[in-house]
Structures are given as structure tokens and as C-alpha cells.
Structure 1
Amino acid sequence: MAAGAAQDVPETRTPREIRVIMVGLVITMLLAMLDNLIVGTAMPTIVGDLGGAEHLSWVVTSYTLATAASTPIWGKLGDLYGRKGTFIISIVIFLVGSALAGLSQTMGELIGFRALQGLGAGGLMVGVMSIMGALVPPRDRGKYQGMFAGVMAIAMIGGPLVGGFITDHLNWHWTFYINIPLGAVALLVVTATLHLPKLRSNARIDYLGAALLTVGITALVLITTWGGQQYDWASGQILGLAVLAVVTLVGFVLTERRAEEPMLPLGLFRNRNFTLVSVIGFLVGFTMFGSVTFLPLYQQSVQGASATNSGLLLMPMMLGMLVVSLAVGQAITRTGRYRIYPILGTGVMAGGALLLSTLGTDTTRFTSSVYMVVLGAGMGFLMQVTMLVAQNSVELKDMGVASSTATLFRTIGGSFGVALFGALFTNRVTATMTDLGVSGGKEQTAQLTPSVLKTLPAAFQNAYHHAVSNGIHSVFLWGAVVSVVGIAAAVFLKEVPLRGAGNASGATADAGEGSATELAGAH
């Protein structure tokens, strides 16, 4: 067992070998990020073809639930049984789910196959990040992680464009089939070029912990998906889900304290940096997904932008995030220091949210684009640094768990952000319409598209523009408050030296330390 544990120490690889492996990892991450964006554009056509509009939300919800619930499980399985094998299995499941979703003939089939697809997707992001953590020392990881920020920008901008093109010129089935050639290339590259030690643990899988965590996460996601939309926040359904979430998550904590090989080792949270970056990741997801949801609505409804190229509306924010993320990655690789960037990032993000809270009916597109660049820059300081600090805070044997936990906190933060900001936005819009003496209840304004708005009387349009601007003001004002909480968390981060620091002696010391920790942690 000692020999097997020692094998888990990362092997030295040339930059060229890493770049080749990165091709497969980048394509896989692109798959994970593109899917929902492409499918979202095609949903009206899919509903028109398959019917079942009343089940429309479940096409997205089933995928999201399966992804969120499986994320921590994939991370732990990779730590126990080898990251390459579990990563390949997750890609295969995702591709099978994509093929079956494309073949769907009913809405029920599509919902089920989307859940299967989401199950595989939960392992894609975690696999990419944990394999990166196993291949590249933290000190050198920044220059590669900037590539993933670029992939996110491409996905956010290109996803709706590709989805629109496929829907208009092919048919909606190809929104799923397009994953297959991309996934096949990723599968071939990963299988041929990625060589990691084969692990085989004798530890028992923590089935009870996995079940409790899955139920708890599912309840949380359903609360944020249904709350204020399908059910009132004070309804029995939402309160029941809240009780279920609390009971199962408390049970999960108690189970993990006694488990031989816990699904999520609670001892990780004794590390101050790991806990703090988990909080920061939650807040980044909270603010980022809220922005992505409501900015296009403002630009289309108030500024009259076209909905056809909706992905392009977010380009200023994505460019700001991309440029800063690349620069920060290079700086971390060069200096080995990172603590300043989360502080700067949360501060700049708060400033960007505060600027966006000033958007009004007469704000120009240029001005709003500048504000979006500021918000994107703040996210650029944070996106990859949070993952880097989380991975640097744990031993190599827990790399998968660290990666999945960081991803999970960001995902849950996004779910809460969209839900709470959505409730805040809707209430403010409705209240403003009422104050201006224009009838426009929740049902009417929720179904109001930009094209329909243009056909309504000028007085209604003017009132609605003011209402949306007020809603945006509330959303981003609270977004700034949330970001200030992130500043407080970032200030308490410790500057822990990154493993694999540039010189030879440091690398040797780190390798020795890695071997010792692996031997000590082997079961």
C-alpha cells in the first residue's frame, strides 16, 4: 500500500505534454459549459415539436439537479479509484445522454435523458480541475487556468449563437448531437495522452453519506428553482423542502464524522483558506449568475437590443473576465503570490455591481458596457484563484474532493443568486408598475417579451422601462452588498506558499512533502 500511495505523487511532465493533454481537458470543459446555453436557445422549438410545455422547466431542472448532486460523488470516486478512469466514464455517460436526448420523442424521455446527461456533466468539470491539480503544481497552474476562463467566455458568447444557428438551419436534435463529435475528440485525446497512476482503494464507499448529500443538495436546488416561481416561498412545498434539506444535511455531517472514508472529509474545513475560498466561491456564483440572468433582460427591454444575438450582450463582461484572469494567472506563476487577488477581485466586483445598480432608462449601451467590464474584471481576479487556493489547501489524495467542493459551492451560490435576485427583481418591477398607476401583475410582466412590449401603448412601455431599471437597481445593489461580504472573507486568507515553486530545490522539497503526506494518508 505504501508503494501504491507513493505512485500518486504527480510525475514531471514537459510543457508540450501538458499542452497536448490540455486540448482534451479544454474540449471537455467546453462541452460542460456549452450544453445548457445551446439547449436554452432551442427550447421554444423543442416544446413546439414535443409538446408538454407545462414540463418545460424540468428539462433544465433535471439536468441541473443531476449535475449538482453528482459533483461531490465524482470528486470522491476520482480520489479513491483513479481520476482518469472516472473522468472517461463521466464523458461516456454525458455522450450517451446527449445521443439519447437527441433521439427523444416525448417530453418525458427528454427530461429523463437530460438527467442522465447531467449525471455525466457532474464529472466533467470536476475531472478537468482535479486532473489539472494532479498534473500541474499550483505555482505553475495559473498560466494554464487562464485558458479555462477563455473557454467560459467562448461558451457564454458562442452558446446562444450556435444554438440559434442549429435551430434555424438544422433541427433541434442537433443541439444534442453536436456534443458527440466534440466528446469523441476529447475522449480520444484523454485516453491516448493522459497517463496517471491507477489507484485501487480497499476503503468502503460512503453510501449513506452520498445518499444524504444527494438528497440535501437536491432539496436546496429545488427550493431555489421553485421558490417564488412555481410555489410561493411560504408554501408547504418550499417549507417542506427546507426541512428536508436541513435534516439530511445535518444527518450528512453526523455521518461524515464517523465514516471510514467520508464522501466529503469535514476536516478540510478546519483549513482556514479552504473554508474561506469556499465562501468566496459561493459569493462569486451568487453574483455572476445573477448578472448573467438579468443584464440581457435590461439590455433587451430597456435599451432595445436584439435578442437574436443575446450571447453578444455579455461580451464586455466576458472580455473583462478573460483579460484579467489571464494576467492574474501569469502573475501568480511568476511571483507565487495570490492573496492580493481575491481582495482586489471582491472589491472590484463590488464596485462593478454598484456601478450597474445606477443603470436607468437613459443609460447608453457604451456606459453599461463599461460597467460590465468592471464587473467582469472583478470576476477575473477570482474565478481561477478560488480553485487554485482550494487545491493548494489539501493533500494530493483529496484533490478531487477539493475540486468538487469548490465547484459545488459556486453552483449552489449561482442557484441561490438567481432565485433570490429573481424574487427581488419581480417584486420591484410589480411594485413600480403599481406605483406608476399601470396594471401589470406578476403574471403579465413575467410573460412580457421585448417583441410584445413594442406593440403595447407608449405609456405602458415607459412604465415598464422604469420598472425594469428599478429592478436592476435592487438586484445589483444587493449584489454589491454580497460582494462586500466577500471582501471580508478574502482579507482573512493566509498567503500559504504554492507547491512546486519555480526553483529546483523547492520542487524537490515539495515532491518529498507530497510523498510523505500521501504515505501518511494512505489507507
Structure 2
Amino acid sequence: MTASPPAPGISRASVGLRSERGPVLLAVMLSTGLVAIDATILATAVPAVVSDLGGFTQFPWLFSVYLLAQAVSVPLYGKLSDLVGRKPIMLVGIGLFVVGSLLCGVAWSMAALIVFRVLQGLGAGAVQPVGMTIIGDIYSTAERAKVQGYIASVWAAASLVGPTLGGFFADYLSWRWIFFVNLPIGVAAVWMLSRNFHERLERKRHRIDYAGATLLALGGTVLLLALLEGGVRWGWGSAISVSLFVASAVLLTAFVAVERRAAEPVLPMWVLGRRVLNATNAAALVAGALTLGLSSYVPLFAQGVLGTGAVVAGFALAAMTIGWPIAASVAGRFYLTVGFRATMLMGSAFAVVGSAVLLTVDGSSTVLHLALACFLIGVGLGFVVSPSVVAAQSSVTWRSRGVVTGTSMFARSVGSAVGVAVFGAIANGVVARRLHGAPTDLQHLPAGVLEPAVHAVFIASTVVAVAMVAAAALMPARVEEPEAD
């Protein structure tokens, strides 16, 4: 078998045999599937986990520590993939995730399960950005949108299969199979990637930016912890909340100072000085906030206000994850003809229209009405997020592609945390006014109180959708592709 010429825009440092791109893509999709299913499969089995291990008050940390570990490690893995190659970092990420899954499956207490979820999160932090970077390496700009549609379809399938699979394991087998199911998928991904993905790299000594990596990890962790737990475990104005925000500001300021002097910084400051990357990171931030807002409150509205069951409520949200890959897969036809900015502006318009439809949903609406709004917003996200990732990757050479992909995904994680914090504060504020400050939670509210609380969140999500228009407008009319390394 002989090697074919690389597709336009692909670096010589990372190209394997062109005929092997299909198996490599499948390996990336399998790896992404690990992370995607894990994002939805555990929620339906929480009662079974708590019944077996106890620790009801601790179970929210199963999700928080995973998100924290994933988010803060994303930019670090992105940089390392630029230094030592995509393949070793991807294999490390899959390995960490699989080992973490095995340990979660044999966990003997809630505390142990939480610790092992951190290991899973560290693995997921490598899988997502490096997988997307590999796609950027082996496919040309013209091909990437369609391929990103495949990746988005993995998330769509996971959002449908995950909750059902989790419920099935919890009811008929054991909640531990929620984690054991990752093992064969991970092994298959490692096998396919090892056999089919080949990199040719210049071997040279690197000066690892340990100080910058440590400050970014600590600063990001403290910031995300403050956003995720503020208003939940402690008040926004409490001493611990203020202390966390001040500490994160100090750590991140020190991180910027260190990066200005580092020989090979984890996050080069030029990333923050390019219009293309500022636009893509802003779009990722806003998309993260909008996605989490819908994921958290649409099912709650469907069940608590419209009176549907969990499955029907999941259908309403699934409409968004169906619209996203449809738009992502055809986005390339648009940005190759009218450009990235026009495509992202069109997507933003879809998101605004979908949010406007969401504002018309009330207690007398049907689930189809709610699903239509989610579908339109999903289409908008597909036309914004996928082109923004392609634009970011196309604006740099191979040596920086991991950094810009990791930065974009980190921005989306921060946006998700900010969205959770802001939307939660808005909903809880409405509830507090309605109940005159009586303590309660959103899961056990009468529809007459829950409806205005979630409607306020829908208003906020409309504002976020409008902010997406502004982020798209930041994108330059033309994105110049640099010469390959």
C-alpha cells in the first residue's frame, strides 16, 4: 500500500496513509462516544448508586468533579499534543478514561466513586480536544464540516441511548455496568488508533511549561468550583464564594505573567490577540452557556409544567441534539461559498428564532411546541460551533492546532459553568420571591411557581442567543490559511 498526497491544509508532520483516514475517524468517533455516553448515562442511575453506596448529599460531586477535571485539563492536553504528537496524548486519555471506568465500576463507597470520576474526567479532557485536532490534521477545510457532522451525530445518539441504557442497567443488571460498558469501546478505540494513525514528527527537546500548567489548572479549578457550587452549597455573597473568586483572579493573573516569559507556553498570548480566535472562543463560550441552560431546564419544564414523563421530556431536549448534527454536516457547503462569518451569523439567527419560539411556550403548550424551539436552537448551534472550530484550526499550522482547539473547548466548558450559575441564580431568585424566601428546590415546586422560574431562564437564554450574534459578527469576513509546517 502506498501513501497518497495529503489533503490541502494537512501538515506533513501528522499525515499517515490517506486510505487509513476512515479507520482513524472511526477510532475518534468511538473515543468521543465514550465521553458522550458518560455525559448522559449516569444521571438515570443515581438512585440505584445512592441506594447501594449511600452518600446522597455527596452525589452531585459525581458530576462536578468530572466536569472540573475535564475542563481544566483540556488546554494542557491541547498544548502537549502540539509538542509530542496527537497519538500518544489520545492514547493516554483513552487509557485514563478506561482505567477510571473500571475503578468506578468496582467502587466500594461514594467517596471512592467520586475520586475515580476525577480520573475519568482527566481522560475525557484529552479525548475531546485531541480527537477534534486529529480531525483537523487529516481532513481538509472543505471536508471537516461533514466529518464534524459525524462527530456531532455521536453526541446526538448518546443523548438518546445514554439515559435509556443507564436506566436498563440500573433496573435489570447493576449500575456498575454503566462504567463497565466503556471497557470494550475503549479497547476497540485504542486498537484502531494504534494500528491506523501514524505521525511523523521532528524529535527535539521541549521545555515544558510546568509553572504555567500548574497555575492554569489551579486557577481554572477554583474558578469553575466557584461557578458550579455558588448559590448551591454556599451563597454568592458568602466569604467562601468571594474568596474563591479572588483566589482564581490572583492565580490566573499570575498565569498570564508566567506565560509572557515562558519559552513554550501552555497558552501562548498570541491566541488572545487574533480576531479569528477571539470570535471562535466567544462563540464557544456562548454556546456552552446556551446548551447547558437548555439541558438543565427544558426537561424540568416538560415534566413539572407540561406534566410529561421523563422519556417524553427527553424527547423535547433530543430535538436539539438532532438539529445540531444535521446543521453541522451541511455547514461546509455554506462556509466554503459565503464564508465562516456569514454561516455563523445564519446559525445565530436560527438560535435567536428558536429562543423566541421558546418564549411562547407556556403551561398550555404541547411537547412538540417545546421540541420545535429546541430543534431550531440545535440547528443554530450546528451552524455556529462546527464552523467556528474549523475556522480556528484553519487559521494556524499543525504546531498550534492543538492549542487553539483546546482553548476553544475550554471556553465552552467555562461557558457551561457560567450558564449553570447564572441560569440557576435567575430561577432560584424567582422561586424565592414567589415563596417569600422559603427553602425549596426546583424539582419539587408546584407548576404555578416553576413555570415563571423556568420562563425567566428562557428569557435569559434569548439574551445569550443574541450575544451569539455578536460573537459571530467578530469573525473576520475572510480567514487566511497559513502555509503548512
TM-score by length of 2: 0.94
Partner residue, 2:194? 191
1:442 aligns with 2:439: yes
1:366 to 365, 368, 382: 368
Partner residue, 1:493? 475
Of the structure 1 ranges 382-391 and 247-256, higher mean CA displacement relative to structure 2 is found in 382-391
The superposition leaves residues 64-112 of structure 1 with CA deviations (integer Å, 9 ceiling, x where unpaired) of: 1111111111111111011101111111111011101101101111111
SS of match in other structure, 2:60 = helix
Contact kept, 8 Å, 1:82 with 1:199, in 2: the verdict is no
Shift of 1:447: 4.8
Contact kept, 8 Å, 1:425 with 1:471, in 2: the verdict is yes
Q: Distance in 1 between matches of 2:147 and 2:432?
A: 46
Partner residue, 1:259? 262
The superposition leaves residues 7-58 of structure 1 with CA deviations (integer Å, 9 ceiling, x where unpaired) of: 75443754x5322211110010111111131112111111110112221122
1:329 to 328, 332, 341: 332
2:219 to 216, 220, 228: 216
Q: Distance in 1 between matches of 2:151 and 2:477?
A: 24
2:317 to 310, 314, 317: 314
Partner residue, 1:457? none
Q: Distance in 2 between matches of 1:367 and 1:292?
A: 16
Q: Distance in 2 between matches of 1:56 and 1:250?
A: 33
TM alignment of 1:76-475, pairs within 5 A: 76-308=79-311, 310-332=313-335, 335=337, 337-434=339-436, 441-443=438-440, 445-448=441-444, 464-475=446-457
Residue identity opposite 2:135 in structure 1 = M
Of the structure 1 ranges 483-492 and 251-260, higher mean CA displacement relative to structure 2 is found in 483-492
Shift of 1:366: 2.1
Q: Distance in 2 between matches of 1:243 and 1:88?
A: 36
Q: Distance in 2 between matches of 1:475 and 1:23?
A: 38
Partner residue, 2:4? none
SS of match in other structure, 2:81 = helix
Residue identity opposite 2:406 in structure 1 = S
Q: Distance in 1 between matches of 2:249 and 2:393?
A: 28
Does the C-alpha gap of structure 1 residues 442 and 346 become closer, same or farther in structure 2, counting only changes over 3 Å? Answer: farther
Q: Distance in 2 between matches of 1:20 and 1:469?
A: 48
Shift of 1:299: 0.3
SS of match in other structure, 1:394 = coil
Does the C-alpha gap of structure 1 residues 441 and 46 become closer, same or farther in structure 2, counting only changes over 3 Å? Answer: same
Partner residue, 1:502? none
Partner residue, 1:11? 15
SS of match in other structure, 1:442 = coil
Q: Distance in 2 between matches of 1:428 and 1:230?
A: 19
Residue identity opposite 1:471 in structure 2 = A
Does the C-alpha gap of structure 1 residues 167 and 389 become closer, same or farther in structure 2, counting only changes over 3 Å? Answer: same
Contact kept, 8 Å, 2:216 with 2:251, in 1: the verdict is yes
Q: Distance in 2 between matches of 1:400 and 1:209?
A: 17
Residue identity opposite 1:54 in structure 2 = T
Contact kept, 8 Å, 2:146 with 2:328, in 1: the verdict is no
Q: Distance in 2 between matches of 1:467 and 1:351?
A: 26
Shift of 1:322: 2.3
Contact kept, 8 Å, 2:11 with 2:398, in 1: the verdict is no
Partner residue, 1:64? 67
**Which protein has the larger Cα radius of gyration, Structure 1 or Structure 2?**
1
Shift of 1:155: 1.4
Q: Distance in 2 between matches of 1:370 and 1:258?
A: 51
Contact kept, 8 Å, 1:268 with 1:394, in 2: the verdict is no
Q: Distance in 2 between matches of 1:342 and 1:469?
A: 32
1:31 aligns with 2:34: yes
Contact kept, 8 Å, 1:357 with 1:472, in 2: the verdict is no
Runs of at least 5 residues in structure 2 that lack an aligned partner in the other structure: 1-9
Q: Distance in 2 between matches of 1:371 and 1:424?
A: 21
TM-score by length of 1: 0.87
Partner residue, 1:482? 464
Shift of 1:174: 0.4
Runs of at least 5 residues in structure 1 that lack an aligned partner in the other structure: 1-5, 435-439, 454-463, 500-509, 519-523
Residue identity opposite 1:212 in structure 2 = L
Of the structure 1 ranges 190-199 and 202-211, higher mean CA displacement relative to structure 2 is found in 190-199
Residue identity opposite 1:268 in structure 2 = V
Q: Distance in 2 between matches of 1:291 and 1:423?
A: 15
Shift of 1:395: 2.0
Shift of 1:127: 1.4
1:45 to 45, 48, 55: 48
Of the structure 1 ranges 465-474 and 124-133, higher mean CA displacement relative to structure 2 is found in 465-474
Shift of 1:386: 1.6
The superposition leaves residues 399-438 of structure 1 with CA deviations (integer Å, 9 ceiling, x where unpaired) of: 111111111101110111011101111221332345xxxx
Contact kept, 8 Å, 1:73 with 1:210, in 2: the verdict is yes
* CA-atom RMSD in angstroms: 1.9
Does the C-alpha gap of structure 1 residues 91 and 57 become closer, same or farther in structure 2, counting only changes over 3 Å? Answer: same
Residue identity opposite 1:324 in structure 2 = A
Q: Distance in 2 between matches of 1:166 and 1:217?
A: 34
SS of match in other structure, 2:310 = coil
Shift of 1:309: 5.9
Shift of 1:201: 3.7
The superposition leaves residues 281-332 of structure 1 with CA deviations (integer Å, 9 ceiling, x where unpaired) of: 1001111111111000000111111125653331222222222222213444
Residue identity opposite 1:11 in structure 2 = V
